[in-house]
Structure 1
Amino acid sequence: MIVNLHIKSIDQAEAIKTIKRKITDLDKMKIDEQKKAVRSGYDMDIIPSDLATYGGEAKNLLQDLQSRNERMFLVTFLVVNMANSKRKLDNDVFAAAGIAQKYNCALTRLDFQQEEGLMSSIPLGRNEIEIQRGLTTSSTAVFIPFITQELFQGGEALYYGLNALSNNMILCDRKQLKNPNGLILGTPGSGKSFAAKREITNAFLITDDDIYISDPEAEYAPLVNSLLGQVIRISPTSKEYINPMDINLNYSEDDNPLALKSDFILSLCELVVGGKEGLAPVEKTVIDRAVRTVYREFLAEPVPERMPILGDLYEELLRQPEPEAARVAAALELYVTGSLNVFNHRTNVELNNRLVCFDIKSLGKQLKKLGMLIVQDQIWNRVTINRAKKKATRYYMDEFHLLLREEQTAAYSVEIWKRFRKWSGIPTGITQNVKDLLSSREVENIFENSDFVLMLNQAVSDRNILAKQLNISPQQMKYVTHTESGEGLLFYGNVILPFVDHFPKDTKLYKVMTTKPEEVSSE
């Protein structure tokens, strides 16, 4: 099948004159019909419906040309059907006519004009068919084929599926973005974790970047083990410890690394103390004072043996005269000498692998947010070390919305989110609770500092907010409405692409990446 358009522009003044003449003719026909009605003895307002419709359309067309910056075009739309047999040709012609009729259009067979039709369809710029339809600029634009955007980069570009419009591969490198921070959003079962694992695998195989994962649901360990990575399981009964008080001299861009570390400790204490209002100003002051005191000895001689632990901060708070310090210390006691003292130890794990997963599922609900915050701080330490080596660090945070619920914790997390870019870090937040993410005060900062978004199927209540936040058109929203797993929209800088990524299920890689219960159990 060949589809061909011949579009001829009409002089604007001539087009307006022609339409005015047509309106005059229609008005004359209307008057004639009214006279006929009076002679026949029925209401003169009753005129043929076609006449009324054409009159209204002609007046609207004139208004478009005069005041809405529209122009007039003569359009010839040609469809050439070709087949190996007469029967097949007749069937194709019938099918094409049926499709046109479905959209209230009529295709006219060019009987005895086949040669002229064929010559008009060959790219010679000649139109030998005198069947034309007058259309305005906007109506003519409907026929222009939609030009799809493509994303096909070289170098360390990763594969993100196929362009749903052109079926071409999508290859892109987040490092080439002005701000490579990213989000993966979707409802349960839409393929969020799978998309993250897909990118992790590609990044591991194609780049030399270090890759770290905060895994609150123990979903990533099979993949990490298959790639010979390192899985660190942290729980109240584990013997693997990470120290929330760890710091290195490159922790911040400032000469004094304690400023940013103090923000982290304040966020940690806010989670520990709890309450709707968070920490009071006096409590923040005594915590900051205690932090500076406990690090004094380490900063004077930065050796591992002098690194403080949470218990040192607890004891220093008890020494402070303010009653607020005693309140914070009492809240910390459970995590220092109580049953949840898993974070009151010096770090005893070596992050000596390119691919590291922190499995914090066994921490339980009480410690999960605390664990996520501490893992984030550990990875920030690693980012600062890798920056000196001129090495990029990728960080994947599942259940990212949990870090944005408390004000202080959200502010610290967003501050780290902003700093990642300058320090060759590529963070990726993953969440199914889009509503919680959007309700955070810091959501504007998150989206403003994220040039990469992988959006999968979205809940009804979230679509409108996301459409406004990311400037998504109704047409584009169809790709995240009741879609299958692995289908959605990819935002890469100013480019928005609908994508499809159906991973072959008969592969070993699929079996270690899937989280569907029926497929995991049959492994």
Structure 2
Amino acid sequence: MKKTTSKIYVEQEKENPQRKKSQSKKVKKTAQDTIPFDEIYDNGIFRIGDTYSLIFYIPNIDYKVFKDNERNGIYKRYQKLLNCLPSEVKYQEFIVNTDIDINNYVDALVPQYNGVCTQEIYDSFVEKQKAIIAEAENSSCEQQIYGALSFKPVVKMDSINVLFKHYNEIAAQFAEINIKTELLPPEKSFEIIHRIYHFSNPEQFLLPTSFFNVDVNLKDYLAPSSFKFASKYNEVGLDYSCVMFAKRFSRNCDDEFVMDLLDNSSKIIVSKHFSRLEKDTSLDILKEQMNDLQGRIDRRLEINYKRSGASGGSSFIPWSLQRRKKELEALEEKLSSTDCDLFEFAMYIYVAANSLKELNDLRDYIKQTARRHQVTLDVLTGATIQEKGLQCILPFAQPALSDDKTLLGQPFYFTTDEVANLIPFTYQNNIIQSGICYGINQITHMPIIIDRSEGLNANGFVVGTSGAGKSMAGKLEFLNGALKYPDDVFIFLDPEREYMAAMTKNNAFDAQVITVSPNTNTHINLFDTDITYTDEGQSAVALKTDFIMTFCECVKGSGLTANEKTVLDRCVNLVYQDFLANDGDKKYLPTLVDFYNILLAQTEKEAKDMALKLELYVKGNFSTFAHHTNVDLNKRIIIYDVQEMGKQLSDIGSLVILESIWQKVIENRKRGIRTWFTTDEFSMFFRDTNGVFRTGDFFENVYKRIRKYGGVASGYTQNMSEVMESPQATKMLQNSNFCIMLAQNETDLDKIKSMFKLSEKQAAYLDIDEPGKGLIKNGKQIIPFDNQINKNSAVYKLFSTKMADQKKE
């Protein structure tokens, strides 16, 4: 249905009686007339009079939390980008505070109940997620950045397609900052314009399906119900709004000015207009200013002479003029001898609210924020000036001009480094719909939703001192994942029975607990394998041979000789003969008992000696891994309880468990199922400093292989000093794509800072005594997070390992 034509009213200022009576009357015209573009083409170009514009999207980056050296690098590359702007085009950066889409957050954060836990735990989890959504909704907005280019053909031979050439050049410069810009199709551009005119209206923007092929007035779908322009404010549809401008900048204005203007949940748009001047034009402007200044100085000297004569005070020049002369001379030197350019620049701020009072309060708040950065803002005054100001906000890189043909408001001539201080980047919201929630960003108060599998390496670590919330962080990640990914399998290696206690308490989860101990009848067959599995050209038996040799090295306590390797290779092939002959039928899987008997049947001394060493694990008290597996490995949640494994069984047991887990990963992959493998206190694998047991090698190998098979591995530890003693473990941490860093003690904090190259500002988030807070390393991002949980909730009571909390229960 075609919209009704809306109206625009222009009110003249009452306080100006000098205006003609004819101007005091209200001038009526349609609201559509105030939308400045004339035509839109299917390639995304707008025509505004005899000028052409295109709009593109600029993804935000986490500039606010970057390290100082990273900020400096971005700042320098941004300067380079500005210097590459062609002088024949105008450039605009348009940054808008956008309300978050709650439906997107609900979809991402509140999964459907799938029976993995009790209803009570699910309800408690949902309550936590909804609290995160509520804080995001009440605390902040998303900042979206757009760029615009405009070009005015001078002669008929000029092609408007030159805009695409210039855009490609700018896109290449943004790519050097790891920002991939995107040209907007007409529909997306219309959404932006519609948002400006309907800031408070949640109505979804809709266009006819084939709007280029039907007879419609597109402005009917963009315009608000009416405009009313007053002296210092406007009524745009349901909004009260006004356009402000930057009136004065201090030399001390810093790169956080734009961030602070937008760091709130208010309806604000920042619009910056740039026009790079050629060197000769810049120097001509500078020369004109210097001549003007010299004229002022000469007139002052003449006045001095008339007042006091040649005898006294005739050479006195006010300090402000002296300073200005030095500034212009320095600027001339800078422009002449460096690659610095001069820009004509203006900045406008659009603010909107639901009432005039709210608008005035917001306007005062914005002014106050600007003053903290030594910037003075003012309101464009006059109804027609406010209407022109709205043109400066729209993303067409086509600002309105004053009567003297300069930019409306207060234009400035800034050098590249001064313009670059007004860098547009704030922070990036970490919201991946397919991911799970890791709490709230401490800076933006937005949910942190990360899909670890999207990175090059999904594996990660959680490090924190005792009491920092390491265990809670791991269990919350598990609960998020188990509810959101109903087909995934979760396996835990649990040396402290933290996961076993939580999973089995009140039957909260349907988990399989495998207690590995000399005192139980639990058996895990170390010869379990899938005959169809190959890796890098090696068969399942060849890969298993390598594992059996590693196992025998652990049993022996030293490396294998060449003769021993030859004997073992032969025996592994013999023990798997029936299994292979029967196409991998599990009934024919061999055991350590079978292998032991084959060793005894060999004639070599090496075979007899190895059989003797294995006897303790075949017939003795540590025969846990000598028989067929007798536990159910088909549950979604599997916990290996290794607390009672004992020193004698620990290293060998760790190898066999890791191999058992790896075989499960292989099986799950064939079924199209992702496996999450979590190791609590992973530092225990790196205690073998002599390299006899090779548990660190095997652990690292499993981590590398699980990544290739679509799995997600996580290691948890509070013993950072112990981890740092192992070059192998340190390298794994440094190369991890994902790491949750919680509170650290003083010694470990210095090591963490060095390992992850944290700035002092970032490290401060770890120098705390609050559990559940810290930093998340996600690829190159470092994100301050808060994942605290209500202590009265069912989830907290289930997962907490604090003695005081357990006593209450």
One fold, TM greater than 0.5?
yes
* SS at structure 2 position matched to 1:419: helix
CA offsets per residue over residues 312-355 of structure 1, 9 Å max, x none? 44555566666666665565444344444433333221223211
* SS at structure 1 position matched to 2:480: helix
Q: Distance in 1 between matches of 2:549 and 2:556?
A: 10
In the alignment, what sits opposite 2:551?
268
Q: 1:126 to 1:23 in 2, by over 3 A?
A: closer
Q: Which of 224, 231, 236 pairs up with 2:513?
A: 231
Residues 214 and 372, structure 1, Cα contact 8 Å, conserved in 2: no
In the alignment, what sits opposite 1:393?
675
Q: Does 1:518 align with 2:804?
A: yes
Query: So what's the TM-score if we normalise by structure 2?
Result: 0.51
Residues 3 and 121, structure 1, Cα contact 8 Å, conserved in 2: no
Shift of 1:231: 1.5
Q: 1:369 to 1:251 in 2, by over 3 A?
A: farther
CA offsets per residue over residues 239-289 of structure 1, 9 Å max, x none? 2222223233234456731121122223333444446xx555555444434
In the alignment, what sits opposite 1:288?
569
- The one-letter amino acid of 1:159's match is C
Q: Distance in 2 between matches of 1:241 and 1:166?
A: 50
In the alignment, what sits opposite 1:463?
752
Q: Distance in 1 between matches of 2:650 and 2:388?
A: 70
Structure 2 residues not aligned, in runs of 5+: 1-265, 298-318, 403-407
In the alignment, what sits opposite 2:461?
184
Correspondence list, 1:191-340, <5 A: 191-206=469-484, 207-225=486-504, 226-253=508-535, 256-274=539-557, 278-279=559-560, 282-301=563-582, 306-314=588-596, 316-317=598-599, 331-340=613-622
Q: Which of 419, 424, 430 pairs up with 2:716?
A: 430
Q: 1:395 to 1:135 in 2, by over 3 A?
A: same
In the alignment, what sits opposite 2:277?
11
Q: 1:22 to 1:441 in 2, by over 3 A?
A: farther
CA offsets per residue over residues 389-444 of structure 1, 9 Å max, x none? 33222222222343356554444333333332444433333334456556444765
Q: Distance in 2 between matches of 1:369 and 1:53?
A: 76
- The one-letter amino acid of 2:458's match is N
Q: Distance in 2 between matches of 1:324 and 1:256?
A: 26
* SS at structure 2 position matched to 1:361: coil
Shift of 1:75: 5.2
Structure 1 residues not aligned, in runs of 5+: 30-47
Q: 1:22 to 1:492 in 2, by over 3 A?
A: same
Q: Distance in 1 between matches of 2:329 and 2:646?
A: 71
Residues 361 and 368, structure 1, Cα contact 8 Å, conserved in 2: no
Residues 215 and 359, structure 1, Cα contact 8 Å, conserved in 2: yes
- The one-letter amino acid of 2:572's match is V
- The one-letter amino acid of 1:461's match is D
Residues 160 and 171, structure 1, Cα contact 8 Å, conserved in 2: yes
* SS at structure 2 position matched to 1:190: coil
Shift of 1:147: 4.0
Q: Distance in 1 between matches of 2:640 and 2:525?
A: 13
* SS at structure 2 position matched to 1:391: coil
Q: 1:423 to 1:370 in 2, by over 3 A?
A: same
Q: Distance in 1 between matches of 2:339 and 2:470?
A: 45
* SS at structure 1 position matched to 2:525: coil
Q: Distance in 2 between matches of 1:353 and 1:16?
A: 76
- The one-letter amino acid of 2:699's match is S
CA offsets per residue over residues 286-317 of structure 1, 9 Å max, x none? 44344333333444455656544334445555
Q: Distance in 2 between matches of 1:296 and 1:308?
A: 9
Q: 1:53 to 1:313 in 2, by over 3 A?
A: farther
Query: So what's the TM-score if we normalise by structure 1?
Result: 0.74
Q: Distance in 1 between matches of 2:375 and 2:788?
A: 39
- The one-letter amino acid of 2:460's match is L
Q: Does 1:352 align with 2:352?
A: no
Q: 1:80 to 1:388 in 2, by over 3 A?
A: closer
Shift of 1:385: 2.4
Q: Distance in 1 between matches of 2:574 and 2:324?
A: 85
Structure with larger Rg: 2
Q: 1:323 to 1:97 in 2, by over 3 A?
A: farther
Residues 467 and 473, structure 1, Cα contact 8 Å, conserved in 2: no
Residues 512 and 632, structure 2, Cα contact 8 Å, conserved in 1: no
* SS at structure 2 position matched to 1:221: helix
Q: Distance in 2 between matches of 1:17 and 1:7?
A: 21
Residue range with higher mean Cα deviation, 115-124 or 281-290 = 115-124
Residue range with higher mean Cα deviation, 142-151 or 356-365 = 142-151
Q: Does 1:485 align with 2:764?
A: no
Q: 1:235 to 1:80 in 2, by over 3 A?
A: same
In the alignment, what sits opposite 2:262?
none
Q: Distance in 1 between matches of 2:285 and 2:564?
A: 81
Q: Which of 653, 657, 660 pairs up with 1:375?
A: 657
Q: 1:144 to 1:179 in 2, by over 3 A?
A: closer
* SS at structure 1 position matched to 2:646: helix
* SS at structure 1 position matched to 2:752: helix
Q: Distance in 2 between matches of 1:12 and 1:483?
A: 56
Q: Does 1:420 align with 2:703?
A: no
Shift of 1:360: 0.8
Q: Does 1:171 align with 2:439?
A: no
Residues 263 and 412, structure 1, Cα contact 8 Å, conserved in 2: no
Q: What percent identity do the matched residue pairs reach?
A: 30
Shift of 1:237: 0.9
Residues 149 and 497, structure 1, Cα contact 8 Å, conserved in 2: no
In the alignment, what sits opposite 1:507?
793
Q: Distance in 2 between matches of 1:57 and 1:328?
A: 88
Q: Distance in 2 between matches of 1:384 and 1:426?
A: 13
Q: 1:377 to 1:146 in 2, by over 3 A?
A: same
Residues 160 and 501, structure 1, Cα contact 8 Å, conserved in 2: yes
Q: 1:12 to 1:443 in 2, by over 3 A?
A: same
Shift of 1:503: 2.5
Shift of 1:208: 1.2
Structure with bigger helix share is: 1
Q: Distance in 1 between matches of 2:602 and 2:335?
A: 77
Q: 1:329 to 1:180 in 2, by over 3 A?
A: same
CA offsets per residue over residues 84-135 of structure 1, 9 Å max, x none? 999x989996x888876766x364888x979999789753745878656654
- The one-letter amino acid of 1:201's match is L
Q: Distance in 2 between matches of 1:56 and 1:335?
A: 85
In the alignment, what sits opposite 1:33?
none
CA offsets per residue over residues 357-377 of structure 1, 9 Å max, x none? 111112134433433322221
Q: 1:113 to 1:402 in 2, by over 3 A?
A: same
The RMSD of aligned alpha carbons is 4.8
Shift of 1:161: 2.4
* SS at structure 1 position matched to 2:429: coil
Q: 1:51 to 1:158 in 2, by over 3 A?
A: same
Shift of 1:486: 3.0
Q: Distance in 2 between matches of 1:182 and 1:54?
A: 60
Shift of 1:490: 4.2
Shift of 1:220: 0.6
* SS at structure 1 position matched to 2:645: helix
- The one-letter amino acid of 1:351's match is L
Q: Does 1:67 align with 2:353?
A: no
